[in-house]
Every structure is written in structure tokens, then in C-alpha cells.
Amino acid sequence: MKIGEFRSFKDELPGEHKWIIVTNNIKAVDAHGEMSHVWLTAFFARSERFGFITFDAADDCKIINLTHWKYA
């Protein structure tokens, strides 16, 4: 994945019921130089307190302050 493939939640929202890859840190990379802090989801919501949010695969951890997305 490349940063240029992602769109900002501030500029545009994805279509409903589409699978998207989201991040809350567009510049984060792992030890191999690949993007990290990315999640695959079909759900996101806007929260007054936490900005855009989604949940992890087990639905037990909220992922907050999402900044960017791209279609999967």
C-alpha cells in the first residue's frame, strides 16, 4: 500500500457497505518499511469525542481517530 492511494476522511467519505482499509497514522511503517496501523473494515462511524472510529476483528477494541481510507 502507498500513501497516495488513501483518501482523507475530511475530504471524502467511502460508499456505504463497501470494504475499506483505514488508518489512524498514515505515515506509520513497520520494521520492513511497510505501512502499519491499517485495518480492513466495512464499518466506520463519526464520534464527537474520538473522530472517525471502527472496531477490531473481535469487536472488542475501538480504533479511534481514523484519518484516511481506501477501497479494499
Which pTM value belongs to this model?
0.90
Over residues 7-14, the mean pLDDT reads: 97
The answer for residues whose C-beta is within 8 angstroms of residue 25's C-beta and 6 or more apart is 36, 37, 67
pLDDT band (50, 70, 90) for residue 64: very high
Predicted confidence (pLDDT) at residue 57 exceeds the cutoff of 90:
no
Residues of the chain with pLDDT > 70, as a percent, come to 100
